[in-house]
Amino acid sequence: MVPAHEVECCAQAYGTQAEIFAGIGHAMMLDVGRQKVAQRVVDRLDRL
């Protein structure tokens, strides 16, 4: 696992903000919490 601090630093380098989904692993599309992540993507796309 990558520490949250490193994820936040990487996001900052790309000029964006990291979103951390607690309890969901790297392969989030296969994780039990995938619906929460998918909904966040849909919400973001709706704002474009």
pLDDT, position 8 = 96
How confident is the model over 20-41, as pLDDT tens digits? 988 888 888 888 889 999 999 9
Based on C-alpha coordinates, what's the Rg of the chain?
A: 12
Q: Residue holding tokens 């994780």?
A: 31
Q: Residue holding tokens 């790297």?
A: 26
Residue 18 above 90 pLDDT?
yes
Q: Are 21 and 28 in contact (CB under 8 A)?
A: yes
pLDDT, position 40 = 92
